[in-house]
Amino acid sequence: MQELYNSTVTKRALSPIVATDNTALTTQIIDTKDFGGVMFHIATGTLADTDATFAVTAAESDNANMSSPSDVADGNMLGSETLASFQFNDDDEIRKLLITPTKRYVQLTITPSGNSGNAPLAAFAQLFGAKYLPATQGAS
């Protein structure tokens, strides 16, 4: 247990938000420097729309502003973007996607479709495999 605690850092990826339309939501840009990878956790609340879907995609970049991003290769994910995605009847659930990036910065996009109701969402990123121990949890 102590090894897990000392080798991970958790970051806010998407502050709690209520999606009310089909506007894509992007997480914070996660810097994976000095870590082996990152596992994103996406939490849903009660999804009000009866036919909405939410597609999750993962991108990576060598630049902190995610300029020129590329899709994370399927072979660099444990789970999949499909398994991380969700729909209208996935109330109060958590989805996860583990990424071992080939580039330093990683970001998820959650794209609603058919959403005209309230869809409360939040996400966090758990960096793992710290190069230097113990990994220090900052206030972010």
CB 15 within 8 A of CB 110: no
Q: Each residue of 15-67: pLDDT tens digit?
A: 999 999 999 999 999 999 999 999 999 999 999 989 999 999 999 999 999 99
CATH code linked to domain 2-128:
2.60.120.380
pTM given for the model? 0.93
**Nearby residues of 108 by Cβ (< 8 Å), 6 or more positions away:** 13, 14, 26, 27, 40, 42, 56, 57, 58, 59, 84, 97, 123
